[in-house]
Structure 1
């Protein structure tokens, strides 16, 4: 069951490569990281987001599909009008 859900998450993210996203991740110690970026690549076990530079340097972060499944990481797709839509996978 969980394996199939992880596959569905990967498949959904495969179609969003190159799209602008808002990433909200649990940073530990009651800290939440919220940054804009671009979904850069999907791999068999992880996906990579290239974050917008806050200070002129680019940063890449990677998360597992299980992080999305357990809602440790949330992705919101950015629309052209500036609004965001939460990325939801039915499992």
Structure 2
């Protein structure tokens, strides 16, 4: 069942390539990273976000679809001045 959920997350993200996103991720040691960027690419196991430059340099980060499923990583799609959070729940 989890495999289908991961596949569904990937399919959803495939349609959002190039969209502006707000990324929230657990940075470890009680630190949460919150940055804007663009969903750049999806691969079979991971997706890549190109983060906006805080200091003029671009940075790319990648996360697995399982990170989204377990809510270690949260994505909000930024469209028309509104943020829409992507949420995935496992149906038991």
The 2-side partners of 1:63 and 1:29 are apart by: 18
- Give the equivalent residue in structure 2 for 1:59: 59
The 1-side partners of 2:11 and 2:88 are apart by: 10
- Give the equivalent residue in structure 2 for 1:77: 77
Give the 3-state SS of the residue equivalent to 2:32 in structure 1.
strand
- Give the equivalent residue in structure 2 for 1:87: 86
Aligned length: 90
What's the TM-score, normalizing by structure 1?
Answer: 0.95
Q: Which 5+ residue runs of structure 2 have no aligned equivalent? A: none
The 1-side partners of 2:20 and 2:36 are apart by: 7
Runs of 4+ in 1 over 2 A off after TM superposition: none
- Give the equivalent residue in structure 1 for 2:40: 40
What's the TM-score, normalizing by structure 2?
Answer: 0.94
The 1-side partners of 2:42 and 2:58 are apart by: 18
- Give the equivalent residue in structure 2 for 1:13: 13
- Give the equivalent residue in structure 2 for 1:26: 26
